[in-house]
Structure 1
Amino acid sequence: MAAEHHFILDLTTVLGASALGGYTSKRLGQPILLGYLVSGLVVGPFGFKLLSDTAQIKALAEIGVAFLLFALGVEFSLTELKRVKDIALKGSLLQIGLTIGLVALLATGVGWVENFTQGIFLGAILSLSSTAVVLKSLTERGETNTLHGQVMLAILIAQDLALGLMLAILPALNEPANLTGALIAAVLKGLLFLVAAFAAGRWLVPPLIKTVANTESSELFLLTTIALCLGVALVTAALGLSVEMGAFVAGLMMSEIDYADQALAKILPLRDTFASLFFASIGMLIDPVVLANNWHTIFSLVIVVMLGKAIVILPIVLKFGYSFKTAMTVSLGLNQIGEFSFVLALVALEEQFIDREQYLLLLGITAITLVLTPFFLKWSPVLADRVAELPLLEAYLRQFRNVKSLSIPDTINNHVVVAGYGRVGQVLVNILHDRGHKILVIENSEAAIQRLRMNQIPYIFGDGDSELVLEKAHLEKAKALAIALPDPASTRLLLKRALAIAPHLDVVARCHYNNEIDLLSHLGAREVVQPEFEAALEMGSHLLITLGETKVSIESVMRLIRENRYLSVRMEELKRS
């Protein structure tokens, strides 16, 4: 078979296995990302060896990382970046420094490395977290614009920038005389790139994109967007900085111009396709034999690494004024070892800072932490709530439940509190606002808060299920509460806490699954709305009018269905009866 046909076969094998793995994970209720990782293990060199050239697949996988960060840059506006700049710069520097120092001391103390210099290199490897895996997990969960999502991404972006410095400085540890020169060169390269990127984003990219857009050619627009993304990423790679950093900056260049949404729409299908290759390529690095032969050591080190990084990150996030729940979610979301730690580990092996056995162990530990990340992100908010309710910690943690931004009139009363300003919440707020009713919105997305500021609608910036946030919302003076949150667990927690503050409050809640209808009703919601059922009822009303039935009879039928909590039209209930 010709070489190009081998490559096509390899590409088809990886994409097909990723599709099957992703489908299986989805059916099992697990993150799709997990399916991609497992599929890479199955078809890779340590699995069934179905690929003839994994290097080419890994080269394509880098494009997936670039597209992931480019899309993030387009969505991650400069305004949002400024809001988290303190923790991005100071917090990440503190996190990296503490991680390197603690790992160096611990590794030297227990004899895992021969000297403190090797310990520093090892600490640098462990200090990085995975931008690609965390971003993919947040995107799947729709949490990139939440407060914890913004903080995580800010820290990750700063880590990616630090990677360039590490690649320049760490090899020079073998030659201390060159250390100062390497540091100065790395800083100058970073500053040169950022200045050039700012200039290009202001004076070069907007007219270029506008010229291409004026051709009204979808193909040319897509090609220009891809060239911009990969071109800037290659520039950063040539400068010794990370590919991720370049792609993110390219996205930021696009985010401030009118064609950002069009660019994002064009790049998303390519992003998801190539990203699946990237995650599969990580799975290819997992050697089951090494894991089996060293499972005691690897299992212990995975616990030490993930627990240790979480313990380092948690107080740092708290120090910058974020709530305990946000800090817990961030610490458990960033406690893995990053995919670009593979690059540092390879450099460490070449420079003889670590031996071959340590290198293979690091690969196994890193891969396992990446596999566990989606689960930590899923359960961290629940765990944070459980920890915050412990009798011994509740009083102490209350000081970390502050609200970061607040815009509430002191005399607010007889208002409607709307928790969540997504698609459902926005429509609801518009209806109430147009009718002149007083509204207070609870939201934790900076992008949504900006729209509320522009429309001069009172808001609280924070988590809707936070006790302190609900206390600030003056529920005891409110007429009603509408819950339009995207997370079922937060919806239930918010409902219980709101009624604990104001037991007679009229609450209407949006539910996500049929089995929540009765649960939310029993918890005290006066009205539970299932969006799919409501859409069907409106369509049914239209059809019944077309078929000649009177509006009075139709309204009676629809009212009865709602009063019975959709019981007569729930398909699963009908099947049981």
Structure 2
Amino acid sequence: MAAEHSLILDFTIVLGSAALGGYVANRLRQPVLLGYLASGLIVGPFGFKLLNDVNLIKSLAEVGVAFLLFALGVEFSLAELKRIKDIAIKGSLLQIGLTATLVTLVTIMLGWASGLTQGIYLGAVLSLSSTAVVLKTLTERGETNTLHGQIMLAILIVQDLALGVMLAILPALKEPENLGSLLGIALLKIIVFVAVALVLSRWVIPRFIRSIAATENNELFLLAVTALCLSVALFTGYLGISIEMGAFVAGLMLSEIEYSDQALAKVLPLRDTFASLFFASIGMLIDPGIIVNNFGTILGLVILVMLGKAAIILGIVLKFGYSLKTALITSFGINQIGEFSFVLELVGLDLGLISNDIYLLLLGTTAITLVLTPIWLNNAPFLAHKLTQIPFLVKYLQRFEQPKSLSIPETINSHVVVAGYGRVGQVIVNILQGQGYPVLVIDNSEAAIQNLRNHQVPYIFGDADSELVLEKAHLATAKALVVALPDPASTRLLLKRAFLISPGLEVIARSHTDQEIDLLTNMGAKEVVQPEFEAALEVGRHLLITLGESESHVRNLIYNIRADRYVSIRPQKI
């Protein structure tokens, strides 16, 4: 078969099997990511060997990583990053340092490492977590904008930046006398990249994108955005910094200009297609034979790594003042070994830092932690809730649930409690204050609380779904509760606890999914608002009036749609 036909065949096999695997996983109510991983295992070199050129597929899979991080960069809010900048930088470096130190000590003490050099190397490998897998799982769950989602992604981005430094340092482990010069070169490369990125994002990229957009040609716009993403990623790869970091920064360059939403919409189909290739390529690395023959050892390593990293991350997040629930979900979410640890493992093998046997064990351990991540992360909120309900831990854990600070007038009464002060919450507060209603806001963001202080708006600094926080909100005398939280699990828990305090409370809640509309209504919410449906209703209202329908008819139509909880306009299930 001709080479070009061979590539098309391989491409078709991977995408087709990924689609089938994703469908099966979805029908089994599992993340589609697990289906992609399984499909890679089945068609790969350790499965039915259906591919002619696995390395070429892996090269194309890197494009998926680039698009994943590019989309994250476009969506990532610099304002949101500022509110968690301390844990993003200090917390990430602390996590990498503590993990590497602990792994070094444990592996040397247990005899798993032949010396300090190998111990440090293993510490570097195990300190990284998976940006791609965590991001994909958070996106599927709609949690990229939650506090724990933002913390996870911020830590992961700094880890990706640290990868470049690690790759520069690894050769020096064989020649310690060159460590200083190699580290200096690595830092110089990072400084050069940041400087170039700042210049491009300020004076070049905005003008370039505006010029392309002015042509009103969709094909040119897509090509320009794709070229920008891949070229910046390749530049960072050339410098020895991870391509993830380059793609993420390319997205940030677009995030602050007016065409960011258009760029995101264009790149999403490409992202999803190539991302499936990436996750399938990880599945191709899983050798069932190695896992079966070394099951006990690999299982022990998986448990040690995931529990050890979770404990370190839990302590760090708590140290930075976040709630126990946020700390638990974050620690459960990024306690795996990252996909770029595969790169460090291969480099270590080439440099002779590890033997082939250890390389295969690391490969199997890394792959299993990645497979377990979607399951672990999906159950993290439930596990966090159960842990905080253990009787003998309740008194100890309550100190993490207490409001960090509050500012509430002693005479507050007949007020509206607004849970969540993000973009939706801020608009609601402005509307209520404009009409003269007293407001009390609950939020767990220091930046949001500082904004409320500056505007002298009563607030409680803490998790809105915490019983101890809700007890301070005077729900018994409140007129209504508005729930504008970005986290579906927290929304449900908040409703449950709010009604225990004030059974007759009027609640208006934001829904994140179609299924949640009925669930929140059955829990007692008087009104459940689905933002996407509301946007569609407003567009539809303007359209019908433009087409000649009377204002009163359109108003009645929209009223009826809202009255039946959007049932008539919900997408039909297949």
Instruction: Flag whether TM exceeds 0.5 (same fold).
Output: yes
After TM superposition, give the deviation of residue 383 of structure 1 in Å: 1.5
Supply the distance in 1 between the matched residues of 2:118 and 2:9 (Cα, whole angstroms).
Answer: 42
Show the counterpart of 1:372.
372
SS at match of 2:379: helix
Show the counterpart of 2:59.
59
Show the counterpart of 1:163.
163
Supply the distance in 2 between the matched residues of 1:509 and 1:85 (Cα, whole angstroms).
Answer: 30
SS at match of 1:257: coil
Show the counterpart of 2:246.
246
Aligned pairs (5 A) from 1:481-520:
481-483=481-483, 489-507=489-507
The answer as to 2:6 corresponding to 1:6 is yes
Q: Which runs of 5+ in 1 are unaligned?
A: 540-550, 570-577
Call closer, same or farther: CA 1:371–1:445 in 2, change over 3 Å. Answer: farther
Show CA shifts across 1:440-490 (max 9, x none).
Answer: 455668999999999998666654312244234332331122446576643
Whether the 8 Å contact between 2:517 and 2:530 is mirrored in structure 1 is no
Show the counterpart of 2:333.
333
SS at match of 2:191: helix
Call closer, same or farther: CA 1:182–1:447 in 2, change over 3 Å. Answer: same
Whether the 8 Å contact between 2:381 and 2:489 is mirrored in structure 1 is no
Supply the distance in 2 between the matched residues of 1:367 and 1:213 (Cα, whole angstroms).
Answer: 42
Show CA shifts across 1:302-336 (max 9, x none).
Answer: 11110011011110111011111111011110100
Greater shift in the superposed pair: 169-178 or 118-127: 169-178
The one-letter code sitting in structure 1 at the alignment partner of 2:65 is: V
Aligned pairs (5 A) from 1:200-279:
200-279=200-279
Whether the 8 Å contact between 2:41 and 2:285 is mirrored in structure 1 is yes
Show CA shifts across 1:137-185 (max 9, x none).
Answer: 1111111111001111111011011101100012211111111111111
Call closer, same or farther: CA 1:195–1:42 in 2, change over 3 Å. Answer: same
Show the counterpart of 1:145.
145
Show the counterpart of 1:120.
120
Whether the 8 Å contact between 1:514 and 1:530 is mirrored in structure 2 is no
Whether the 8 Å contact between 1:517 and 1:528 is mirrored in structure 2 is no
After TM superposition, give the deviation of residue 245 of structure 1 in Å: 0.7
Whether the 8 Å contact between 1:205 and 1:253 is mirrored in structure 2 is yes
Supply the distance in 2 between the matched residues of 1:421 and 1:177 (Cα, whole angstroms).
Answer: 52
After TM superposition, give the deviation of residue 65 of structure 1 in Å: 0.5
The one-letter code sitting in structure 2 at the alignment partner of 1:193 is: F
Whether the 8 Å contact between 1:492 and 1:520 is mirrored in structure 2 is no
The one-letter code sitting in structure 1 at the alignment partner of 2:393 is: L
Show the counterpart of 1:20.
20
Show the counterpart of 1:186.
186
Supply the distance in 2 between the matched residues of 1:69 and 1:450 (Cα, whole angstroms).
Answer: 30
Show CA shifts across 1:20-58 (max 9, x none).
Answer: 111111111111111111111111111111110011111
Supply the distance in 2 between the matched residues of 1:6 and 1:430 (Cα, whole angstroms).
Answer: 60
SS at match of 1:381: helix
Show CA shifts across 1:256-309 (max 9, x none).
Answer: 111111111111111111111100100000011111111111111111110011
The one-letter code sitting in structure 2 at the alignment partner of 1:157 is: I
Show the counterpart of 1:94.
94
Supply the distance in 1 between the matched residues of 2:508 and 2:89 (Cα, whole angstroms).
Answer: 42
The one-letter code sitting in structure 2 at the alignment partner of 1:237 is: G
The one-letter code sitting in structure 1 at the alignment partner of 2:315 is: P
Show the counterpart of 1:548.
none
SS at match of 2:481: strand
Supply the distance in 2 between the matched residues of 1:193 and 1:509 (Cα, whole angstroms).
Answer: 44
Whether the 8 Å contact between 1:145 and 1:446 is mirrored in structure 2 is no
Percent identity (aligned): 66
Show the counterpart of 2:351.
351
After TM superposition, give the deviation of residue 361 of structure 1 in Å: 1.1
After TM superposition, give the deviation of residue 406 of structure 1 in Å: 6.7
Greater shift in the superposed pair: 496-505 or 300-309: 496-505
Question: Size of the alignment, in residue pairs?
Answer: 551
After TM superposition, give the deviation of residue 437 of structure 1 in Å: 3.9
After TM superposition, give the deviation of residue 399 of structure 1 in Å: 2.5
Show CA shifts across 1:528-555 (max 9, x none).
Answer: 75969x99x999xxxxxxxxxxx9xx99
Greater shift in the superposed pair: 424-433 or 461-470: 424-433
The one-letter code sitting in structure 2 at the alignment partner of 1:197 is: A
Aligned pairs (5 A) from 1:160-559:
160-401=160-401, 412-419=412-419, 436-442=436-442, 463-483=463-483, 489-507=489-507, 521=522, 525=524, 527=526, 529=528
Show the counterpart of 2:81.
81
Show the counterpart of 1:547.
none
SS at match of 1:481: strand
After TM superposition, give the deviation of residue 386 of structure 1 in Å: 1.6
Q: CA RMSD in A?
A: 3.6
The one-letter code sitting in structure 2 at the alignment partner of 1:378 is: N
SS at match of 1:339: coil
Call closer, same or farther: CA 1:293–1:470 in 2, change over 3 Å. Answer: same
Supply the distance in 1 between the matched residues of 2:132 and 2:516 (Cα, whole angstroms).
Answer: 34
Call closer, same or farther: CA 1:406–1:260 in 2, change over 3 Å. Answer: farther
